[in-house]
């Protein structure tokens, strides 16, 4: 199995007046194709910071990050934006859909940002993804969807660019237990079926049986959790 994501000795600190606050300290993580990893840890331990660095939304103070064979730590803003469009899919805590677009249009927008792609093929892809995610009416607006349905649309949107790496920050936070489990099940299937690498920050213990590995952030570094 190939390595899709690799973070090596990443440190992230913030200047807070005279003090320097170290959030991540020599953090290491490797995720292979077909692996779904959960990141757990107390509030304020650096989970979102970690994910933002992994997804090239934020740069590390030191250390290196690679998406596949691509080293991204020295990338400019423009290169980061380009990398995110090519290789990364984000799923956030709330679905963040645009209220005036239909379900289908939420996914098509990604194509329009990506420019130059075959529109017909992309529409077919959007329909296929939505159907695979259990959404049959593609002309509904977000207001008429349940929380779980909205989150499934946001997963579809994250998969539109066929990303190598999927990053999810508490994707079940706004859902009840059953919906939350179903949404993570959809993510797990996608990872396993299409050999993606996924990293999901979660507080939700009930979804942990669905992931392949659990990693805990403690004092700024990452530790593999042994499972019984």
Question: Given the rule CB under 6 A, which residues bind ligand ATP?
Answer: 14, 21, 23, 41, 43-49
Query: Using the rule CB under 5 A, is 94 a contact of Mg ion?
Result: no
Minimum separation from the CB atom of position 17 to ligand ATP (A): 11
With CB cut-offs between 5 and 8 Å by kind, which of ligand ATP, Mg ion, none does residue 44 bind?
Answer: ligand ATP
Is-contact 63 26, C-beta < 8 A? yes
Minimum separation from the CB atom of position 169 to ligand ATP (A): 7
Which residue lies nearer to Mg ion by CB, 37 or 160?
37
> Token match 């740069």: residue?
59
User: How buried is residue 199: exposed, middle or buried, by Cβ count under 10 Å (0-12/13-18/19+)?
Assistant: buried
Burial 204-221 (b: 16+ CB within 10 A, else e): beebeebbbbbbbbeebb
DSSP at 209: G
Which residue lies nearer to ligand ATP by CB, 43 or 76?
43
Minimum separation from the CB atom of position 201 to ligand ATP (A): 7
Minimum separation from the CB atom of position 32 to Mg ion (A): 25
Is-contact 44 29, C-beta < 8 A? no
In the sheet where 165-169 sits, what is the strand order? Answer: 88-91, 165-169, 197-201, 35-40, 213-218, 221-224
Which residue lies nearer to ligand ATP by CB, 149 or 170?
170
With CB cut-offs between 5 and 8 Å by kind, which of Mg ion, ligand ATP, none does residue 193 bind?
Answer: none
DSSP at 208: G
Of 51, 61, 146, 58, nearest in space to 91 by CA:
51
With CB cut-offs between 5 and 8 Å by kind, which of Mg ion, ligand ATP, none does residue 152 bind?
Answer: none
Query: Using the rule CB under 5 A, is 122 a contact of Mg ion?
Result: no
Among 48, 61, 174, 221, binds Mg ion (CB under 5 A): 48
Minimum separation from the CB atom of position 93 to Mg ion (A): 8
Which residue lies nearer to ligand ATP by CB, 2 or 20?
20
- How many binding residues for Mg ion (CB under 5 A)? 2
| DSSP secondary structure, 71-118, as one string | E-TT--HHHHHHHHHHHEEEE-SS----TTS-HHHHHHHHHHHH-SS-
Which residue lies nearer to Mg ion by CB, 48 or 59?
48
Q: What are phi and psi of 122, to 5 degrees?
A: -70, -35
Residues of the shown chain interacting with Mg ion in the complex, contacts defined by CB under 5 A:
47-48
């Amino acid at each position: 199995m190939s390595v899709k994501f690799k973070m090596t000795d990443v440190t992230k600190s913030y200047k807070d007046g005279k003090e320097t606050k170290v959030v991540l300290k020599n953090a290491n993580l490797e995720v292979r194709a077909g692996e779904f990893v959960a990141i757990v840890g107390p509030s304020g331990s650096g989970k979102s910071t970690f994910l933002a660095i992994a997804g090239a939304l934020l740069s590390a103070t030191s250390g290196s990050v690679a998406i596949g064979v691509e080293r991204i730590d020295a990338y400019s803003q423009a290169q980061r934006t380009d990398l995110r469009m090519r290789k990364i899919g984000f799923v956030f805590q709330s679905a963040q859909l645009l209220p005036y677009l239909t379900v289908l249009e939420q996914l098509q927008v990604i194509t329009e940002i990506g420019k130059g792609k075959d529109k017909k093929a992309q529409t077919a892809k959007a329909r296929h993804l939505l159907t695979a995610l259990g959404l049959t009416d593609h002309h509904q607006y977000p207001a008429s969807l349940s929380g779980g349905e909205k989150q499934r649309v946001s997963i579809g949107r994250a998969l539109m660019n066929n990303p190598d790496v999927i990053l999810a920050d508490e994707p079940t936070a706004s859902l009840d237990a059953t919906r939350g489990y179903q949404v993570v099940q959809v993510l797990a299937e996608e990872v396993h079926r299409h050999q993606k690498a996924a990293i999901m920050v979660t507080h939700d213990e009930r979804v942990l049986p669905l992931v392949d590995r659990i990693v805990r952030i403690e004092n700024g570094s990452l530790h593999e959790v042994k499972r019984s």
